Amino acid sequence: MVRRRRRRTKLLLLLGLVLLVSFLVNYFYTEIRPTVIFGLRSDYAKALPFQKVPVGLESLRAEECGRCHREIYEEWKTSIHAHAYTDPFFQAYWKRDNQVWVCLNCHTPLENQQPTLIQGIPQDRVEKAIQIRNPRYDADFQQEGVTCAACHVRDGVIYGPFDDSVAPHPTEFDPGFRTTKVCYRCHNVVSGPFQFYNVGPCGTYPEYEGEYFMKEKGFICQSCHMSEVTRPVAEGGPIRQGRRHLWPGGHDPDMIKRAVAIHVQADSPVPQAGHPITFTLTLINAGAGHKIPTGDPDRHFTVEFIVRDQEGTVLDQQLETMGRWILWQPVIVEVYDNRLLPLASRDYEFTYEIPKDRKGLVVEARVRYHILTDGQHAMLREKYGLKGNDPYVFNIYSREFPLDSTLGVALNTQPLDPRVGCSSFREGTVNPTGHQIFG
């Protein structure tokens, strides 16, 4: 009888403990831990205020702007800003996140573009936000993503980088367009409670290198992402030195290629059968003013060495990854970050013992840039409706080196790219860290 009571008491205690743990876990996730992977900062916690159409214009649509600013409009149409809402990767990720409203504050930033109005955010809990229907919501306008008005229209006035504009609508000079201020709101997403990033989850802005690129070269974000062009800003207007509205970045493989410099060496120019040979691939962040890769934490590089025979059979391979490793549950902790700082370099070594009885072997050195992993891509397609076949892996560098007497020639004839980097580095120059720059 006593044993039965003790057993019952233990079971009740165990049940009570399970219930307590369940309650605490539920309370942690519903009342304490944020549901989004970033914190709320006041300037992006709400949409940009509703904007009325400036006098002289018929609407806020980009096409309306394009009537006079034709070249800028045509550039914008091809940009990732124009597709910030319709981008299939965003749509799939957003569906995974239950289409949480806060994402729209950067992807469709104007109140005019959003179906609901946020009246309050109790305890900064995104899922507890008080929302009401937006009677002035324009669903078609939402499709334009980061549209012209998102940056240029405030209080019925069109703001821009020139102080002598003459236009059929109200204009005002805003010096912020000549600084990094205009990029700050959406490219400096901060950490929230129980989120322990080194910087925010999408922290390109605070990663910006302030010594060489900013002080010595005088670069701002626009120097690379909005290249200079001499042309009339509006049709029939004066010729000015302005900027292209393309914003190439993390979705543009050519932009990635311009940011890096890569060179491969071997410890011997004449491979010997039966002996090991070591290849060294040097990867340099030669042209980006921030870490590479940057932006979304899923982005990463892989550096690969692959040995193949004459039939293409893989005999050996090695793969290393450069990126961020983040623990997402139960709290967010950035465990490791081996991305390259501006002007920094890293050597990747691969050693292979050459067989005595094999000829026609080659070593391929390859660097690839990934927007997300294969597993994540499959998950987005299978569970969250990712559509289309937009590429998510890009070859940045690939070259084969023969394991025979011609290796030395191949090593000495690697192409030097004088376009390496936005920083106007030229082949054979030495960057401030003392590293030789190769394309």
Per-residue confidence (pLDDT) for residue 28, from 0 to 100: 77
Q: Same domain, yes or no, for 185 and 82?
A: yes
Tell me if 42 is assigned to some domain.
Answer: no
Q: Same domain, yes or no, for 80 and 224?
A: yes
Per-residue confidence (pLDDT) for residue 433, from 0 to 100: 33
Per-residue confidence (pLDDT) for residue 25, from 0 to 100: 76
Last residue of a domain, one of 243, 278, 296: 243
Q: Same domain, yes or no, for 285 and 209?
A: no
Tell me if 205 is assigned to some domain.
Answer: yes
Tell me if 425 is assigned to some domain.
Answer: no
Q: Dihedrals φ, ψ of 321, to 5°? A: -120, 140
Last residue of a domain, one of 189, 219, 243: 243
Q: Please say whether the beta carbons of 31 and 23 come within 8 A.
A: no
Per-residue confidence (pLDDT) for residue 208, from 0 to 100: 83
Q: Same domain, yes or no, for 267 and 149?
A: no
Per-residue confidence (pLDDT) for residue 419, from 0 to 100: 38
Tell me if 129 is assigned to some domain.
Answer: yes
Tell me which residue range forms the domain holding 176: 62-243
Q: Is 151 helix (H, G, I), strand (E, B) or coil?
A: helix
Tell me if 284 is assigned to some domain.
Answer: yes
Q: Same domain, yes or no, for 235 and 259?
A: no
Q: Same domain, yes or no, for 234 and 274?
A: no
Q: Same domain, yes or no, for 177 and 273?
A: no
C-alpha dihedral, 100 to 78 to 295 to 189, nearest 10°: -50
Number of H-type helices and E-type strands within the chain: 13, 17
Q: Same domain, yes or no, for 215 and 305?
A: no
Alpha-helical regions (H) of 177-290 = 181-184, 204-207, 221-225, 253-259
Which amino acid is present at 236? Answer: G
Tell me if 160 is assigned to some domain.
Answer: yes
User: Which residues of the chain fall below pLDDT 50?
Assistant: 417-439
Of the chain, the end-to-end C-alpha distance in Å amounts to 83
Per-residue confidence (pLDDT) for residue 358, from 0 to 100: 82
Sign of CA dihedral 188, 189, 194, 196: negative
Q: Same domain, yes or no, for 392 and 333?
A: yes
Q: Based on the structure, what is the number of domains in the chain?
A: 2
Give the CATH number of the domain where residue 269 resides: 2.60.40.10
